[in-house]
Amino acid sequence: MKFDAPATTNPIDQLKVVGQPVDRIDGPLKTTGTARYAYERHDAVPNAAYGYVVGSAIAKGRIKSIDVAAAKAALGVLAIVTAENAGKLEKGRLNTAKLLGGPEIQHYHQAIAVVVAETFEQARDAGQMLRVDYDREQGSFDLRGGMDTAKPAGITAGPPDTAVGNFGSAFAAAPVQLDETYTTPDESHAMMEPHASTAAWDGDKLTIWTSNQMIAWGVGEVAKTLNMPKENVRLISPFVGGGFGAKLFVRSDAILAALGARAAGRPVKVTLQRALVINNTTHRPATIQRIRIGTTRDGKITAVGHESWSGDLTGGKPDGAVSQTRMLYAGADRMTATRLAALDLPESNAMRAPGEATGMMALEIAMDEMAERLGMDPIEFRILNDTQVVPDVASKPPSQDPQAINNREAQSPSKDKPFSQRQLVQCFRTGAERFGWDKRIAQPGQVRDGRWLVGIGVASAFRNNQLTKSAARVRLETDGTVTVETDMTDIGTGSYTIIGQTAAEMMGVPLQKVAVRLGDSSFPISSGSGGQWGGNNSTAGVYAACVKLREMVAQKLGFNSAEAAFSDGEVRAGNRAVPLADAARDGSLSAEDAIEYGDLDKKFQQSTFGAHFVEVVVDAATAEIRVRRMLAVCAAGRILNPKTARSQVIGAMTMGVGAALMEELVVDKRVGFFVNHDLASYEVPVHADIPHQDMIFLDETDPMSSPMKAKGVAELGICGVAAAVANAVYNATGVRVRDYPVTLDKLIAKLPAVG
């Protein structure tokens, strides 16, 4: 189905099932422990052996030799695979470093071997017996030290640099100016389920049960890496215990499980230990961001400049921290610039809202700082500079082709492009009323509650809506039930449920009569999960398949498909009604189709918007920070399931608190690795850290987006949260922290005197 004109009234608009806050249909499996994840596929792969991955002990250099004799002789060992005996391996298109290192080493904890044994303990024990002789080289591990040699590099949302007008002259002439630098640290995805895979060979055919967000991409990567035909690779991933972008790409667990299984002659399961999740897989890179804003004395932005530096391995890509600055606020003279430093740290890549999450941590503090210089309310300053057209040299929504994502290719620019929907102002107005913004005291450090200093903060939320082809197969069974098959994944987002709701709405059956099967490369290729593109695109693909199935059913039952209505398990037109199941009396009916997009996204900028409100308290003596309450107001198209969408947003808000107050991968700049590579020392929020969370979805549909009239929301929820927390801390204390995370050591010496 080609979607090349704005959506009009269609069966989804009935909202009998879609749009309702129904429980997740996979919930019972997960709450009873019967949902089988990649490492637990004892049902499909009995008698699997265990693989243990050994990571490099240096960050850069070469392996001179590996002595495997003692490990091979150890109890229970079945096979040991290194680069010496793995056969010819290619580097995939979507990873920067090789997934099995040797002899060259590109980063610390790069996988250099997998030891396969009868038990996990035996494999781990033998792994410690490997004797590796390295030739260590000097590496570059400091982003600030690499700024001078950093080079321009394109981001997902466009070219490295943009310029409109003459920023330099406009900024110099601005009556009110801000020029500040902000930093964000390296961060880990820290998902609950580590990267894990179980691999089995049947002749020259390979099946991998894996934890992966993008099945079709993964098939291509495994095939390329192992030099085998794509048709001989099957990936299965029905449940993913968290990904946040770390599992967009095949990682070493899948490749080493496959190599280990081939060497051992039996199925092998591999999970990466937490230290390797952090140092071996991907992470969000640190950034250094310089923001300059010039305004008139009444607060109109005349000049805005945003420069960002981040680092990655040679051949990698930068963080897109400048992306939202190209679209969020008005201003005639503008510039953005992105620079990439070559670092020998573990690979950086996508993490929830890559670009906007880090960029808004800086931009939204800068907006508050500018509002203070102007003597304006921070909300009113943002509203004054709202725009209904893209103010920068905007890029078209980024391609979801994996090669484009890997290369971060620049997209074609266009000017004066209107937003399809933009309710940012309404998000602020609604949130301010609900949160009690009018009670805020603008002067910092004035509100106390006993020993606590109290402050509230605000920030915008912004994330683009991304469109990509997505397919599904829908089958009407002989008993009247409907089965949906697509390789779409559910990473805890509720994909099973919203896909089931879509099919139920389209075919006129209750949700209980829909069976959803996901995460198998033998199913039609979907959008996959990531970038908050999954919900809208995958359901639109199911919509397309259901349209085709409705036509088949109508023809079978003798109805005009344009007049047939599907409701309550029947097909109706005029005074005639026939049970839906009658169409499959002679055998099931199956239809497959995909949603393919025209150029509406080129004519209209499709984005999602929101506003975050946060109240914090800071201990006047110790500078301990606690978040008391949070509110998010989101405008993100039709909300397909308010219950699952709310869970996504409050989860993202929680991650935003972590980014604001605690998350930081600490780099050992001598050796080149992340020191705190476990969940004991890499701090993430726990229940005690998170207070009451409230959220509001504005009533919105976007007919430019898809037949579902929906957009993404899962990443919008993190964008701006950290800045809202930081702004609230400033309002409480009068201490401005520009280097995340905002920790007590950065506050305590500057707190107001305890009276």
Tens digits of per-residue pLDDT, 489-516? 999 999 999 999 999 999 999 999 999 9
Whether the predicted pLDDT of 573 surpasses 90:
yes
Biggest alpha carbon–alpha carbon distance for the chain: 84
Task: Give me 606's structure tokens.
Answer: 């499709």
In the predicted model, what is the mean pLDDT of residues 408-430?
Answer: 78
Query: 543, 561, 540, 565: which is closest to 552 by C-alpha?
Result: 561
Looking at the chain, the domain(s) classified CATH 3.30.365.10 span 2-33+467-602, 38-138+190-279, 422-464+606-755
Half-sphere exposure of 428 (CA within 13 A, CB side): 22
How many whole angstroms separate alpha carbon 111 and alpha carbon 127? 12
pLDDT at 383 (0 to 100)? 98
For the question of residue 715 being annotated catalytic, the response is yes
pTM summary value: 0.96
pLDDT of residue 410: 36
Which CATH code for domain 422-464+606-755?
A: 3.30.365.10
For 47-78, the pLDDT digits (tens) are 999 999 999 999 999 999 999 999 999 999 99
708-734 residue pLDDT tens: 999 999 999 999 999 999 999 999 999
Three-state DSSP class for residue 754: coil
How much is the pLDDT for 156?
87
Q: Is the pLDDT of residue 409 over 70?
A: no
38-138+190-279: CATH, from 3.30.365.10, 3.40.50.150, 3.40.50.620, 3.40.1000.10: 3.30.365.10
Rounded mean pLDDT of the chain? 96
Q: Which 3 state secondary structure label does DSSP give 424? A: helix
pLDDT bracket for residue 754 (50, 70, 90): confident
755 pLDDT tier (thresholds 50, 70, 90)? low
CATH number of 2-33+467-602: 3.30.365.10
Q: pLDDT band at 396, cuts 50/70/90?
A: very low
Q: CA–CA separation, 472 vs 466, rounded Å?
A: 19
> By percentage, how much of the chain surpasses pLDDT 90?
95
| Residue 395 clears pLDDT 50, i.e. is over it | no
- Which of 187, 347, 369, 715 is catalytic? The answer is 715
State the pLDDT at residue 297.
Answer: 98
Nearest to 541 by CA among 619, 603, 599, 597: 597
Q: What is residue 663's three-state secondary structure?
A: coil
Query: For residue 649, which of 565, 714, 710, 601 has the smallest C-alpha distance?
Result: 714
